Structure 1
Amino acid sequence: MTKIEPLGAVRERVLAALRQDIIAGRIGPGDRLVERELAERFGVSRVPVREAVRALVAEGFVHFETPRRAVVRRLTPKDVEELFELREALEVYAAGLAATRATAEALAELRDLLDQAATATHKGDAETITDANTRFHDRILALAGNSLLISVMEPVDGRLRWLTRRNEEWPQLLTEHKELYEAIASGDPERARAHALRHVRANHRSTVRHLFGEPA
């Protein structure tokens, strides 16, 4: 007997796939999300697709040009500025907390993620680089041990990944992550915050340069 997938689970599956396609650039800014085509692609009805698109609107990935035309947003300089302002405030704070709370086991996990990123950088594997770098930052946030901080970051996490995916200066990113790791491993919160701030601001400049061809 075939098990029927609950509507909510279908919606989440479609939402996760579309979100990842947008972050990875497989669906680009200005591309239209057509319910009928997406329903056929996922083998589902239009209802979960419609709900997934609305969720993407709420998350800031998509907007309605007309009531029936949903397209992936084109990020503006103001969008980027606001997201990096938030990232700077929260990730710098998180790095300081992580430096005082990270265990040897947690630091080993960060080191492993750096090794994965290094291997992927050598191969030029964009998907693996993005995944390892994202998990590296997620792990630092978790090490901060502040559930409220995580809940504040969660609504914009996807958009931040969308932005950072556009920074393809991978060797430089790897160097910055290694320096941030060493700062956190030192147990010195001021050093960790300083490296985190330098990293976020460098990433901001790189992202703006890639998107708009001008310095931040």
Structure 2
Amino acid sequence: MLSTGLPQGAVPKLERPGPLRERVYEALLELITTRALRPGQHLVESELAGHLGVSRQPVREALQRLNTDGWIDLRPAQGAFVHEPTEEEADQLLTVRTLLEAEAAGLAAAASGSAGIAELEALCATGERAVHDDDVDGAVAANAAFHDKVMELAGNTVLAELSAQVGRRVRWYYTPVARQRGKQSWIEHRELIDAIADRDAARAAAVMRTHTEHTRRTYHERAQT
């Protein structure tokens, strides 16, 4: 339940304009993907409405959609609970992520110019600072931005759309292992930048494949420690 409160600054502001149910959905999804609302946590309509400053109706509508999209589970006579992903679900999604992002890295190496490489270097520096400061949320956000930029530099719209479908779930799975991946993740990002700068598509794809596989294995290993 939310009676214990959410972390300071965790509740996102609802952007206007736009349908209220859509804005509530996006706000709740952000809280789930950042794990401010934890897997298995009981969600109470009235408490969520109070935190977001809205009535219960758009919260109810948002919860229905989140249930349809697999982010929460609606249990008869019990209520709504944040979905608890299984190891198999995580493995399948992170495997697909490897396929998509390895292809994107190869395309980015073939197409990127100096401006794109500079943007990757700036994002990498941001992530390295976050790790140094033990800012997990900052590191997670920088990691997502870095991978989004690689996908953008690939220049393939269909690939980007497919990646966007799994991007938020990747962030959801990455958050609990972000500190464990830590500095090594950004060393791998630097290796990827070097391959892209050298316009070596095969090496860029291989580096990205290894990088994303490290994250997949770390996610599974965290449950064994």
TM norm structure 2: 0.87
Determine the structure 2 residue equivalent to 1:132. 142
SS of the equivalent of 2:84 reads coil
Instruction: Encode CA deviations 1:129-166: one digit per residue, 9 max, x unaligned.
Output: 11111000001111111111111122221111100112
Partners in 2 of 1:34 and 1:190 — Cα distance?
50
Determine the structure 2 residue equivalent to 1:164. 174
List gaps (5 residues or longer) in structure 2: 1-15
Instruction: Encode CA deviations 1:20-76: one digit per residue, 9 max, x unaligned.
Output: 222222111110121111111111122221222233223332122227611111111
Partners in 2 of 1:48 and 1:27 — Cα distance?
18
- Structure 1 residues 67 and 176 mapped into 2: Cα distance closer, same or farther (>3 Å)? farther
Partners in 2 of 1:55 and 1:154 — Cα distance?
18
One of 199, 208, 212 as aligned partner of 2:211: 199
Contact preservation (8 Å) 1:11, 1:48 = yes
Percent of aligned positions that are identical: 36
CA-CA distance at 1:180 after TM superposition: 1.4
Q: Name the amino acid aligned to 1:186.
A: D
- Pairwise mapping of residues 136-147 of structure 1 onto structure 2 (< 5 A)? 136-147=146-157
Q: Name the amino acid aligned to 1:113.
A: L
Partners in 1 of 2:68 and 2:164 — Cα distance?
13
Determine the structure 2 residue equivalent to 1:25. 35
What's the RMSD between the two structures over aligned residues? Answer: 1.7
Determine the structure 2 residue equivalent to 1:174. 186
Contact preservation (8 Å) 2:121, 2:193 = yes
One of 101, 111, 124 as aligned partner of 1:101: 111
Contact preservation (8 Å) 1:99, 1:192 = yes
Partners in 2 of 1:67 and 1:105 — Cα distance?
55
